[in-house]
Chain A
């Protein structure tokens, strides 16, 4: 009963905030609706019993990716007239994606009505007496070790690539040398003087 109420609540909010993401005029509002959608999707996953994935969704997407989105969107100088001018240009591409997505939904529904997947007959069913975080760990670090490490390698390469692309040596920047700042003593920086009245101090 409560699970059903929670499911319909989360599902309704996901749909609503998804719709608001694409319809709201202000891009910052769009990102915030997107975050709400992520958050409620995590709620749906909790209801499915996938608590590890739900937490990762919040930590990674809501906690990191969406913050970056928000940063970028806040910094943008948005001209609404220009946005609307672009609408016609991209309308056909958008339409193509919409058709693609609709086709996928239809295929999924057809497949589902044909009987769906037998979840208990997977190659590696979730073992009993094991939380799904342990089950995922066991699979990732044994069965799918090379795929997992391959994914890690791809991320590493992407990270190094991003640093190489954005890092450039700029002239005229005064860097902070922490070791020099820490090593500096009061004697090096100040002098105690007793100048006579009416005369300044030679610096």
Chain B
């Protein structure tokens, strides 16, 4: 794209600038559409598991339900509590929403199709996800209300705890792929199991980590069974209690954008990303982005499934799982993977 704009007579800097902005729109706008449809899918799956119909009135099969909801919140009045800290109160949902979007910059959709192919891609993902907690803490504090504040404290503790084990899981993947770059991590998953399967999940050393990562990503996005921050029987609606209209919708969108992102990360880190599941010639005829989409949707189905079936954890159980089970396990696995690599690949890169 940059070369096309330089061809039009712009100098390189401006051509890059314009091309990048267009690229960002090309990622962000379909993502918003995907979020709207995935909210619909979530409600449908959830309803089906509870033997209900789910949204089926607005549009054919209820497909336009999310857009109707969007229009509704858009027309509502934004209520700002008089005791709230106004600036921060309005800033918080914007932070959540922005952070959910910026990570997509490093997600590879196909070999070489990525907005920013940086060599610290995975660290960037960690950095951006550690920013996500601020949207929630600030909301809880700025609302100046008890339940949002409790919820914000819970959310912050939960996200910080599970980021620790996510970090170690990522390290074992990075060790295996020998790179922090997401494209390189995907490429390193080519041809496991005597060249047949693409994906770290088939690797017995990394499969347990893929399970840990899946559960941690449920906790990181505050989905059931770890949705203690929005435990409606205890905390009304958690940190979103005081929010209405568009500021509430931004939380809603950001939350689901985060869920899709976590599904994408699961797919990229352990299930081969844009590579076809089997390492067979004709499967490469299907574009990589379609494989990535199928994997993201499969993971989203898992997320919904868990939400529909698993009861909510107690807070002490949540912390116990994060600190006493996942942390030692993933730490041990880093040790195991690096030990195996020392035995088999020693000398690489030195």
CB-CB under 8 A from B160, the residues of chain A are 63-64, 67
Contact (Cβ within 8 A) B124 A55: yes
B287 CB to nearest A CB, Å: 29
A175 CB to nearest B CB, Å: 9
Contact (Cβ within 8 A) A133 B16: no
Contact for B119 among A59, A67, A131, CB less than 8 A: A131
CB-CB under 8 A from B268, the residues of chain A are none
Of B28-36, B131-139, B294-302, B326-334, the one contacting chain A is B131-139
B323 in contact (CB, < 8 A): no
Distance, CA A52 to CA B160, complexed state (A): 21
- Chain A: CB-nearest residue to B317: A178
Given contacts A35-B134, A67-B160, A71-B153, contact A1 B124 (CB under 8 A): no
Q: Mark B144-174, 1 if CB is under 8 A from A, else 0.
A: 0000010001001000100100000000000
Contact (Cβ within 8 A) A133 B119: yes
CB-CB under 8 A from A70, the residues of chain B are 137
Contact (Cβ within 8 A) A67 B131: no
Contact (Cβ within 8 A) B88 A63: no
Contact (Cβ within 8 A) A28 B123: no
Contact for A62 among B88, B131, B153, B317, CB less than 8 A: B131
Contact (Cβ within 8 A) A74 B119: no
Given contacts A59-B127, A67-B133, A176-B316, contact A51 B119 (CB under 8 A): yes
A32 in contact (CB, < 8 A): yes
Looking at chain A's contact residues, the main secondary structure is helix
Contact (Cβ within 8 A) A64 B130: yes
Given contacts A59-B130, A70-B137, contact A51 B13 (CB under 8 A): no
CB-CB under 8 A from A58, the residues of chain B are 127, 130-131
Within 8 A of B (CB), among A32-49: 32, 35, 42
- Chain A: CB-nearest residue to B349: A134
Contact for B123 among A1, A32, A59, A64, CB less than 8 A: A59
Q: Mark A114-134, 1 if CB is under 8 A from B, else 0.
A: 000000000000000001011
Contact (Cβ within 8 A) A63 B17: no
Contact (Cβ within 8 A) B137 A133: no
Contact (Cβ within 8 A) B137 A63: no
Contact (Cβ within 8 A) B123 A52: yes
A105 in contact (CB, < 8 A): no
Please indicate which of the listed interface residues B134, B153, B163 has the most CB atoms of chain A within 10 Å of its own CB. Answer: B134
B306 in contact (CB, < 8 A): no
CB-CB under 8 A from B180, the residues of chain A are 133
Contact (Cβ within 8 A) A71 B123: no
CB-CB under 8 A from B17, the residues of chain A are 2
CB-CB under 8 A from B320, the residues of chain A are 176, 178
Contact (Cβ within 8 A) B127 A32: no
Contact (Cβ within 8 A) B16 A2: yes
CB-CB under 8 A from A71, the residues of chain B are 153, 156
CB-CB under 8 A from B119, the residues of chain A are 51, 131, 133
B68 in contact (CB, < 8 A): no
Please indicate which of the listed interface residues A52, A59, A70, A134 has the most CB atoms of chain B within 10 Å of its own CB. Answer: A59
B120 in contact (CB, < 8 A): yes
B115 in contact (CB, < 8 A): no
A155 CB to nearest B CB, Å: 15
A159 CB to nearest B CB, Å: 13
CB-CB under 8 A from B149, the residues of chain A are 74
Distance, CA A51 to CA B317, complexed state (A): 37
- Chain A: CB-nearest residue to B119: A131
Within 8 A of B (CB), among A17-41: 28-29, 32, 35
CB-CB under 8 A from A59, the residues of chain B are 123, 126-127, 130
Distance, CA A178 to CA B127, complexed state (A): 33
Within 8 A of A (CB), among B81-95: 88
Please indicate which of the listed interface residues B123, B156, B320 has the most CB atoms of chain A within 10 Å of its own CB. Answer: B123
Please indicate which of the listed interface residues A42, A63, A178 has the most CB atoms of chain B within 10 Å of its own CB. Answer: A63
Distance, CA A138 to CA B131, complexed state (A): 29
Given contacts A32-B88, A67-B137, A70-B137, contact A55 B120 (CB under 8 A): yes
- Chain A: CB-nearest residue to B129: A63
B118 in contact (CB, < 8 A): yes
- Could you give 19 example pairs across A and B, Cβ below 8 Å? A28-B141, A51-B118, A51-B119, A52-B120, A55-B127, A56-B123, A59-B123, A62-B130, A63-B126, A63-B133, A64-B130, A67-B133, A70-B137, A71-B153, A71-B156, A74-B149, A131-B119, A178-B317, A178-B320
- Known A-B contacts: A32-B138, A67-B156. Give 4 more (CB < 8 A): A62-B131, A67-B160, A134-B349, A178-B317
Q: List the interface of chain A (C-beta within 8 A of B).
A: 1-2, 28-29, 32, 35, 42, 51-52, 55-56, 58-59, 62-64, 67, 70-71, 74, 131, 133-134, 138, 176, 178
